[in-house]
Amino acid sequence: MANKNFDFQSLKVKLAERGLKVTSQRLVIFQCLLKYNEHPSAEMIFERIKDDHPSISLATVYKTLDTLVEAGLAKKIESWDALKRFDAKTEQHTHLFCINTNEIIDFEDAELSGLLEEYFKRKEFKNFTVTDFQLQINGQIGDKSKSIKLKQLK
Amino acid sequence: MANKNFDFQSLKVKLAERGLKVTSQRLVIFQCLLKYNEHPSAEMIFERIKDDHPSISLATVYKTLDTLVEAGLAKKIESWDALKRFDAKTEQHTHLFCINTNEIIDFEDAELSGLLEEYFKRKEFKNFTVTDFQLQINGQIGDKSKSIKLKQLK
DNA sequence: ATTTGTGCAAAACCTTTGCACTGGG
DNA sequence: CCCAGTGCAAAGGTTTTGCACAAAT
């Protein structure tokens, strides 16, 4: 298991390639992210590593994860945004999410619904019972020319 | 517009049907949720109503929205959970989300990818430029018999 | 009258930030 | 050496909670 592409040696290389300083904290955090691919939060990683590395602080975990994301070595699993948002429409439907304005727009398309329904009807998941699903389509309202990317809220 | 199924009268009925007391706060908040279907956060609703109803507190908005969700009159647009979570796998893929354990599991299926890719290639969105999308499949690990629904975290 | 809902303020929670210190290049 | 990275503690922002008061059935 040592050489499964996330031994320290190859991680060092990856960090260095991106011009990032190689620190023991980054190696530990990066390896933890790769090794248990449980899609952890910063907190979860902190819990995992703190026994073996009691000196690493939670703030460093946060900072390091952001650094890895910036370097393209990890990805944030984006939810709509931090706020929990509500919908009075209780039936299953797809949402368009505008990355500029944070608007959420209902989207219904018989073809898409049909496609997915049919897929889920046919598909067997081993050891997983599906209750529902959500499809979020990200993009921007309007056309490609106005590509300013604000990160506003509210 | 007064009678578009979210006038106070029909909202009163809906609340009463669920055994909820009809209060002016609930009517205002519920109507706001329906009227501007912008998929708001609690904060957004509060902003919208506070000028006309300065006495309604933010805490009430939170509580009322939760009440509506419990009663099945609204839905939380669930993100994975409140925490921002990370993934070392940077390519597009689908996630299975276990509603019992909050685990996130990678899911790849050539058929599904093909289906969606083909759909997006073919589909024209009017006034919306798609950058990417995410499919989250909710359910529980294991089978239907162990249907305990914890809301744990960490 | 009783029970449920509301408003306030405080607490809890998660995440970010400022700054002095440390350590890698 | 120098600058980027780290740790601490404090601040920031969002959501939840406890409790006394108000309102609905």
Per-residue pLDDT tens over the stretch A81-103: 544 556 656 666 777 777 666 67
Bases on strand C under 7 Å from any protein CB: 4-10, 14-18, 23-25
Return the pLDDT at A44. Answer: 86
Of chain B residues 5-34, which have a beta carbon within 7 Å of strand D? 16, 21-24
What angle, 0 to 180 degrees and rounded to 10, lies between the N-to-C axes of helices A42-50 and A24-35? 110
Predicted confidence (pLDDT) at residue A37 exceeds the cutoff of 60: yes
Lowest-confidence region among A36-45, A130-139, B85-94, B136-145: B85-94
Determine whether the distance from the CB of B47 to the nearest atom of strand D is below 7 Å.
no
Return the pLDDT at A86. Answer: 66
Apex A64 CA angle, A19 and A152, nearest 5:
100
- Alpha carbons A113 and A118: distance in angstroms, whole number: 8
pLDDT averaged over chain A?
78
A14 compared with A145, residue with greater pLDDT? A14
**Using the beta-carbon criterion (under 8 Å), do B39 and A85 form an inter-chain contact?**
yes
- Alpha carbons B48 and B33: distance in angstroms, whole number: 10
Return the pLDDT at B151. Answer: 25
Which residue matches tokens 């599904």? B112
B36 compared with A51, residue with greater pLDDT? A51
Return the pLDDT at B53. Answer: 93
CA–C1' nearest nucleotide, residue B62: D15
- Alpha carbons B82 and B34: distance in angstroms, whole number: 24
Within 8 A by CB and 6+ apart from A128, the residues are B96, B98, B105, B139, B140, B141, B142
For nucleotide D25, the protein residue with its alpha carbon nearest to C1' is: B21
Predicted confidence (pLDDT) at residue A24 exceeds the cutoff of 80: yes
Residue-by-residue pLDDT tens, chain B, 154 positions = 444 567 889 899 999 999 999 999 999 999 998 887 777 888 888 989 999 999 999 999 999 998 998 888 887 766 555 445 566 566 667 777 776 666 777 788 888 888 888 888 888 788 888 877 878 787 778 754 433 332 222 2
Nearest chain A residue to B83 by CA: give it: A41
For nucleotide C22, the protein residue with its alpha carbon nearest to C1' is: A23
Return the pLDDT at A148. Answer: 31
